[in-house]
Chain A
Amino acid sequence: MMRTNYGLFVLAAVLLALPLLLPNTYYFDIANRMAINAIIVLGLNLLIGFAGQISLGHAGFFGIGAYASAVLTTHFSWPPIAALCAGAAGAALLAAAIAPPIFRLRGHYLAMATLGLGIVISIVLKNEAGYTGGPDGMSVPAMSAFGGEIFGERQWYWLFAGILLFSVWACQNLIDSPFGRALRALHGSEVASQVVGVNVARYKVTIFVLSAFFASIMGSLTAHYVGFITPDSAEFSHSIELVTMVVVGGMASVFGSVVGAVLLTALPQALTTFEGRETVAFGAILMLSMIFLPKGLVPTLAAKFGGRR
């Protein structure tokens, strides 16, 4: 069944029009952070929303990517692209090594195991101060690739917008492929999908590795983009932020991931005027959106207006 992919066109149009509307680099910076989060959340939503497996430690993979880029380029003078690839490979390998035993667990045990993984990673980053600068963080050189250097919020904007568009397209295709159908099947019932021949363990591991890979690459790019990185980026609270974006936007919804990331990235910016009260507001919004929109924003609205996901 072929259908016109309106969503993707709208997103592309918004991404193209946005630079004309953004008044200064501050707004470009916010747009960039939204795109970064949206890309990570797309990967995480494949795991949580489509495959139904929770991860409370995804910031750990983001941290692996960020610090691989920071440490390898600073201390070992690797080219940024090589460092990025090494980080992504490392995160994927770690995910692949740890996934088979983790995914024997389910529900709260799975939440605990992934949470533990993230915390261990952030503690390592804090303690290996010789390389990572400890809790104070470290600065990261600018991104350079193929003889050119990426600098300034505007250049980065086009890079992030491009990756975002590609990721949305890739996710949509993945979900409509046999792989995606198998994922949704195992979310519905693991036993039933096993009975019809889905290799449940292999699919869970693959999607976990894939989302870790996404998160690590974005960690690397964020490190170069911001130019400074602290272990906070791998912390439990960052993992929670990411999961919240998935849940608020809408589980198992591609555009929900984008909307969730945009809203929750904008939120702290909007709340800075409240000085110190953002924790309370953030918590309250989490609870309220979960209680009143348990399916998430996009699927709820889509159901209401008769549209499709």
Chain B
Amino acid sequence: MFSQFLQFMFSGVTVGATYALAALGFTLIYNASNVINFAQGEFIMLGGMLTVFFLKTGLPMPVALALAVAIPAAVGVLVEKLAIEPAKGAEVVGLIIITIGASLVLRGVVQIWLGKGAAAFPAFSGDAPIAVGGAALAPQSLWVLGTTAVIVVALWLFFNRTLAGKAILATSFDPLAAQLVGINTQWVLLVSFALSAAIGAIGGILLTPITMTSYDVGIMLGLKGFVAAVVGGLGNGLGAVVGGLMVGIIEAMSAGYISSAYKDAVPFLLIFVVLFFLPRGLLGAKATERV
């Protein structure tokens, strides 16, 4: 009974960590530019697909991983430069459409280039499960959780201890004021896109040995990351992590105890419950609207 619960918990926390990474990506870009980047899921897909591709070409693992994080980061910068920047001042709907357009382009290119099939690579440290309290924990799950924890701590340090991080924070509070004190807000935007693309790609790489990847995994992973960001409170980094884990755990529990067919519907039902009672998410700021 308990071991079963623990088993669902493990899978929920593992997938939830990936949602948390996706949600952090949404949060970073949202804070820097007020844009919801619907292409975030494609960065997750790129991470996994590129790793598979580079491993096939015979590159050693560390090189393949580095490329699979660096390329999406570069793509993130390109998306900002070519699509977001020229559309400055567009309405929310317009920006949403632009990022959706970017996601279609990325997905289409990968589909043409790498094909439609699902692919994976072996887990980083074997598949022999570790027994914990009667449940089996895959070593890859530890990789997912450990890396997520490292990224969260690193981000926290970056935003609280470095000048660059504080500049980004300042921009998210008030872009105009940030510019007045000499912060290059253009640079802040680029860094935010690169960072969130890289974080998304890392999530995609880590998850691939567990769930496989294909050109279209970005749609659902991205949307669930968005759910996580909204559940936690849009723009709140801690909220993104809490939201991601919550969405992952609730999804796994309902898949285990209620119905696995409806597991993909659960995050979207959750969003209704959360938004009805807390219209700004769990940890969202209680902002009043300026008239």
Contact = CB atoms under 8 A, between A and B. Distances in A.
B212 interface: no
Contacts of A48: 93
Contacts of B265: 119-120, 123-124
Given A120-B268, A276-B112, A290-B101, 17 more contacts: A107-B92, A109-B280, A113-B275, A115-B223, A120-B269, A127-B261, A243-B97, A244-B100, A247-B93, A251-B93, A276-B111, A280-B105, A282-B108, A283-B104, A283-B107, A290-B87, A294-B91
A104 B279 contact: yes
A13 to B, nearest CB: 32
Given A243-B97, A276-B111, A287-B101, A116 B90 contact: no
Interface of B: 30, 36, 83, 86-87, 90-94, 96-98, 100-109, 111-112, 219, 223, 226-227, 230, 234, 261-262, 264-265, 267-269, 271-272, 275-276, 279-280, 289, 291
Contacts of B289: 191
B271 A113 contact: yes
A3 interface: no
Nearest to B281: A109
Interface of B is mostly: helix
Nearest to B87: A291
Contact of B227 (A112, A236, A290, A294): A112
A201 interface: no
A245 to B, nearest CB: 11
Interface residues of A, number: 44
A189 interface: yes
Contacts of A247: 93-94, 97
Q: 3 closest Cβ contacts across the A-B interface?
A: A283-B104, A286-B101, A279-B108
Nearest to A122: B265
Contact of A105 (B101, B105, B275): B275
With most chain B CB atoms within 10 A of its CB, the pick from A243, A276, A282, A286 is A286
14 contacts: A54-B93, A56-B96, A108-B230, A236-B223, A243-B93, A247-B97, A276-B112, A280-B109, A282-B108, A285-B101, A286-B101, A291-B86, A291-B98, A294-B91
Contacts of A198: none
A200 interface: no
Nearest to B280: A109
A101 interface: yes
A308 interface: no
A277 interface: yes
Nearest to B82: A287
Contacts of A284: 101, 105
Nearest to A53: B93
A240 interface: yes
Contacts of B226: 112
Contacts of A192: 291
Contact of A280 (B108, B219, B271, B276): B108
Contact of A287 (B102, B111, B262): B102
Nearest to B109: A280
B230 A286 contact: no
B90 A294 contact: yes
A113 B272 contact: yes
A111 interface: yes
Interface in A251-295: 251, 276-287, 290-291, 294
Contacts of B271: 112-113, 116
Contacts of A251: 93
A189 to B, nearest CB: 7
Contacts of A278: 108
Contacts of A104: 279
B90 A290 contact: yes
Contacts of B267: 116
B230 A109 contact: yes
B94 to A, nearest CB: 5
Contacts of A191: 289, 291
A282 B83 CA distance: 15
A185 to B, nearest CB: 14
A286 to B, nearest CB: 3
